[in-house]
Structure 1
Amino acid sequence: MTSENSPGTAAPPGDAAAGATALDARLLKVAGVVVLGAIMATLDMTIVNVAIPTFQDAFNASYANVAWAVTAYTLSLATVIPLTGWAADRYGTKRLYLTALALFVVGSVACSTAWSLEALIGFRVLQGLGGGMLMPLSMTILTRAAGPHRIGRMMALLGVPMLLGPICGPILGGWLIDSVSWHWIFLVNVPVGALAILAAFVVLPSDRTHPGEKFDFLGMLLLSPGLALFLFGVSSIPDEGTVAAVRVLGPGIAGLALMVLFVLHALRKNNALIDLSLFKDRNLTVSVITLLLFVIAFMGTMMLLPSYFMQVRGESTLMAGLLVAPQGLGAMMSMPIGGKLIDKIGPKFVVLPGISLIVVGLGLFTQVGTDTSLWYTSGSLLIMGIGMGFTMMPLMTSALATLTEHKVARGSTLMNIVQQTGASIGAATMSVILTNQMTSHGVDAAAMQSAGAAGGGPVPADMAAKIQELLTGAAGAFSDTFVVSVVIVACTLIPAMFLSRQKVAPSEQAGAAPSAVAGTDDERELVAK
């Protein structure tokens, strides 16, 4: 009798295909481990936002100074992300993932003990060093574990924390601050982090390292500070109200100049910090362009939705978070479907319908007012969420699917840099547009604060009319800003038209064996095309 594993015995085609594409228990365990870490990193980017007023009182500081507790974390992420690809290749993803988790947990504990604003900002930098490595490492681990035929579904699992973070962060942060104290918005990471470290140590396989690769010190000195300076300048635009401010132009131009110098340096170096030869892969290049435009348009808009519910509708932070939850529900419904479809039919015919649904859902928000039905807004957000599930992670999957195993870590790093940069640009752009629209509608921040303070009890008729006028103007400013958002999101359809029409997998030219590309002649023919 011939052994099942004998070289002379071929498995039936159907069984081979099923084995190549099924999500087995091992893969699901790996996914569970990396999702735990990703949830912590994404939650912490939003959970602190609701604590800014509390920090002002606790440390007797201004809003501008307290905002550094948020900015320090973001800039720390930007500094460490470019290093992750090299470090993953040099030390292995498992070892680096455990290190990132430990840094994040230690940073979280330190933040909870902060005795001053300066201490809090310093500890947030430490926390960001760990958090910045978690997302690109998660993408690398999942991509390598899944292989080309299952990457879509595995990346869909990673998309869950990316959606839950912006939704659950304000809700959880508000509840912890009201029920316990601000210290617990950091301490909540300790049990989750400890569980993630234990699970990662047991579940994640050890991977091959490349100890011979030299570290690109010059690239680090150019790219990491350049990216941090550029994002700091962009993030300062809403506070300054103009791009022409010294605080915006100074670091922005300096950061851009350093990044240009890095590009020139990387083009002449074989083992650069970011491998620009990745852009020779047409599929990755188109995916990166589409993702950048999409993140700028969509992520900036997502920051406006809670503000609409709080400023125009007078909802609390907790209620605003709950009111945007339908978006997350829609995404969780569609994301597993999108992951399966991209593994079967390729990214183009998944992403295009997804962007179109977002345009429809966001277009409905251009008609919002002071008393728009919550059923209307919830339905709009549900449509947007379904579109999001068909767009965000499929784009990342499309970018990484054609890379060989050795290039996945560098590709994951590149995608996270694109995402972080796009989100910062989008947030700054939409904030400035909203501010200008508020001015155009005769609404200023001081008047809105007075209206909010007066809205808690009975007010004279003339004041009530003034408040209603302000709220109507604010609603108009938001709806006009959403019009701009719709136009920008719609423009994303243009590069998305150039995405692959077939499922993607590493090509023979990229170094994969033919049998790893597809299991049948028909599949190989599709990939070759």
Structure 2
Amino acid sequence: MTAPSGSAEAGDIADLEQELTSVPATPGRTPLVIKLLVAATFVVILNETTLVNAVPRLMADFHISETTAQWSLTVFMLTMAAVIPVTGWFLQRVTTRTAYATAMLTFSAGTLVAALAPTFGVLLVGRVVQAGGTAVMMPLLMTTLMTVVAVEDRGRVMGQVTLAMSCAPALGPAVSGVLLHFGSWRLIFVVVLPIAVLVGFFGFRQLENVGETTRSPISWLSVLLAAGGFSTFVYGLSKVGNAEWPEPALLIGGGVVLIAAFAVYQLVLQRGERPLMDLRTLKHRNFAVSLVLMSAGFMAFLGSMLLLPLYLQNLRGLSELQTGLLVMPGGLAMGLLGPQVGKIYDRIGSRPLVIPGSVAMVALLFGMSRIGVDTPYAVILALHVALMASLATVFTPVFTIGLGDLSPQLYSHGSSLLGTLQQVAGAIGTALLVVIMTNRTESLAESGSAPADAFMGGLQWAFFTGAAIGLVVIAMALLLPSKVEAPEGAAAGH
């Protein structure tokens, strides 16, 4: 443990303990613990989308249908949605090092299982274990950042977190496209495994514990309601367009009922100060507004991210590698802009960034809805890069304002809720846009349109829907303050 960075009055043990556990950062410098957690989070989140391009290979190797192969993606999202609600309680109960070791060991074990999987069922087991580790790492990074970084420096550091939280999913298909060019789908896991092991090992050696642990009992009923509710809801969404009604409706409805029961039960548990997910975070106006904004943003972002590869491969005939290389600059733009946007936020606040960024996002999604069969690749590339850049100006400040509005004891619960709704919103956006694209395509085909024109018409409607969802982002951006005051007990500059 490092020495205290400030002075404590003699005999004031509480102040000394606060110094030791908070480890406030020197303004202008990113704490080592955050650098380590960003690297680890980038590695684990990257795997959420790396198999997007590998579905045809899985179908051929395991002799399965496309619907079955898609489970390699769906099961990861289901596990994340089921596990993340528990992480708020888990992160308060264990030390930073224990949480980090648990996440990286779990993720690495899942990666090894997936790489060696002799059957598709074993591959799914590996993906579930992988997702379990990823679900812990995301809230751990956000909670630790809010604990150790001074308020006036959070925008810059949160910009680095954007590299992991937003850029990694965007780069996943690009990375897998390159790897699939050189070998089988197993290469994706073979390349990631040593990186994860090394990041986990050296990170654990350098990592220090921050914050204080509590020994609150766990509510197993809450765990069952959360895991059952969120996973059933996301599973129902994944079945939309792939199954006969009313199966998807029953699953989605059942998930909503379980989630509602979970929320009501948390309100009951809050009276005894032992909720699994503390919903008092929603009483903080700026956090609630940020939550709605981020949910709408991820619906449009992840839904649209799925559409572009479909267009490039199914309509334009590009290979996995060519598709990956075309979308890679956009992901890199988002990641590289994150830290710069964070620095600007620290100087001028959120509104000059988030409002123009959300307007640009809507305009660019509308622009994507106008692309056609022969649109030049340079135009598509420019639209995608600009879209990712606009999202960077939105996500970084909103993450900072939302969590910065909470008191320290709510950081882990706020991070958990944000991560959970991020997964659910992504699932909703993906299901909604795919259904709209499919239905419009089928309608045009039945009316006599050529297959290419019918597909293009469906794609345009889906992108237009993404732009419409973006209007919610603009509305929420107008409600955000430029900055938030540090709650009592939050890390402050020294």
- Post-superposition Cα deviations, 1:331-367, rounded to whole Å, max 9, x if no partner, equal 2353223212322333233211111111222222222
- Residue 368 of structure 1 and its aligned partner are, at CA, apart by 0.9
| Counterparts in 2 of 1:401 and 1:363: CA distance versus 1, 3 Å | same
Match of 2:17 in 1: none
Match of 1:498 in 2: 479
Distance across 2 between alignment mates of 1:382 and 1:178 = 23
Distance across 2 between alignment mates of 1:518 and 1:168 = 34
Distance across 2 between alignment mates of 1:302 and 1:180 = 24
Q: Is the 8 A contact 1:20 1:149 kept in 2?
A: no
What is the aligned counterpart of 1:89 among 92, 98, 105? Answer: 92
Q: Is the 8 A contact 1:333 1:386 kept in 2?
A: no
Q: Is the 8 A contact 1:101 1:130 kept in 2?
A: yes
| Counterparts in 2 of 1:392 and 1:317: CA distance versus 1, 3 Å | same
Match of 2:424 in 1: 421
Report the AA paired with residue 74 of structure 1. Answer: M
Single out whichever of 327-336 and 245-254 deviates more from structure 2.
327-336
Match of 1:475 in 2: 456
Superposition pairs of residues 170-319 of structure 1, within 5 angstroms: 170-240=173-243, 245-270=245-270, 271-319=274-322
Match of 1:377 in 2: 380
Q: Is the 8 A contact 2:167 2:334 kept in 1?
A: no
Match of 2:155 in 1: 152
TM-score (norm 1): 0.84
Single out whichever of 421-430 and 284-293 deviates more from structure 2.
284-293
Distance across 1 between alignment mates of 2:381 and 2:475 = 28
Superposition pairs of residues 394-413 of structure 1, within 5 angstroms: 394-413=397-416
Query: Any runs of at least 4 consecutive aligned residues in structure 1 with deviations exceeding 4 A, and if so which?
Result: 4-8, 516-519
Report the AA paired with residue 257 of structure 2. Answer: A
Instruction: Structure 1: state its 5+ residue gaps.
Output: 9-18, 445-465, 520-529
Distance across 2 between alignment mates of 1:394 and 1:41 = 23
Report the AA paired with residue 267 of structure 1. Answer: L
- Residue 261 of structure 1 and its aligned partner are, at CA, apart by 0.7
Match of 2:28 in 1: 23
- Post-superposition Cα deviations, 1:99-120, rounded to whole Å, max 9, x if no partner, equal 1100000111011111112222
Distance across 1 between alignment mates of 2:82 and 2:463 = 32
1:133 to 2:114 alignment: no
Distance across 2 between alignment mates of 1:20 and 1:41 = 25
| Counterparts in 2 of 1:145 and 1:442: CA distance versus 1, 3 Å | same
- Residue 37 of structure 1 and its aligned partner are, at CA, apart by 1.8
- Residue 429 of structure 1 and its aligned partner are, at CA, apart by 0.3
Single out whichever of 204-213 and 306-315 deviates more from structure 2.
204-213
Instruction: Structure 2: state its 5+ residue gaps.
Output: 10-23
RMSD of the TM alignment (CA)? 2.5
Aligned residues: 473
Q: Is the 8 A contact 1:148 1:504 kept in 2?
A: no
- Residue 124 of structure 1 and its aligned partner are, at CA, apart by 1.8
Match of 1:111 in 2: 114
Report the AA paired with residue 120 of structure 1. Answer: L
Report the AA paired with residue 305 of structure 2. Answer: M
Match of 2:487 in 1: 507
- Residue 434 of structure 1 and its aligned partner are, at CA, apart by 0.6
1:124 to 2:113 alignment: no
Distance across 1 between alignment mates of 2:241 and 2:318 = 23
| Counterparts in 2 of 1:80 and 1:6: CA distance versus 1, 3 Å | closer
- Residue 251 of structure 1 and its aligned partner are, at CA, apart by 2.0
1:346 to 2:349 alignment: yes
Q: Is the 8 A contact 1:347 1:394 kept in 2?
A: yes
Match of 2:21 in 1: none
Distance across 1 between alignment mates of 2:49 and 2:215 = 39
Distance across 2 between alignment mates of 1:124 and 1:484 = 31
Single out whichever of 320-329 and 353-362 deviates more from structure 2.
320-329
What is the aligned counterpart of 2:390 among 387, 391, 394? Answer: 387
Q: Is the 8 A contact 1:223 1:259 kept in 2?
A: yes
Q: Is the 8 A contact 2:181 2:320 kept in 1?
A: no
TM-score (norm 2): 0.89
| Counterparts in 2 of 1:21 and 1:438: CA distance versus 1, 3 Å | farther
Q: Is the 8 A contact 1:233 1:248 kept in 2?
A: yes
- Residue 195 of structure 1 and its aligned partner are, at CA, apart by 1.7
Distance across 2 between alignment mates of 1:358 and 1:326 = 17
Superposition pairs of residues 43-122 of structure 1, within 5 angstroms: 43-122=46-125
- Residue 480 of structure 1 and its aligned partner are, at CA, apart by 2.8
Match of 1:328 in 2: 331
Single out whichever of 83-92 and 52-61 deviates more from structure 2.
52-61
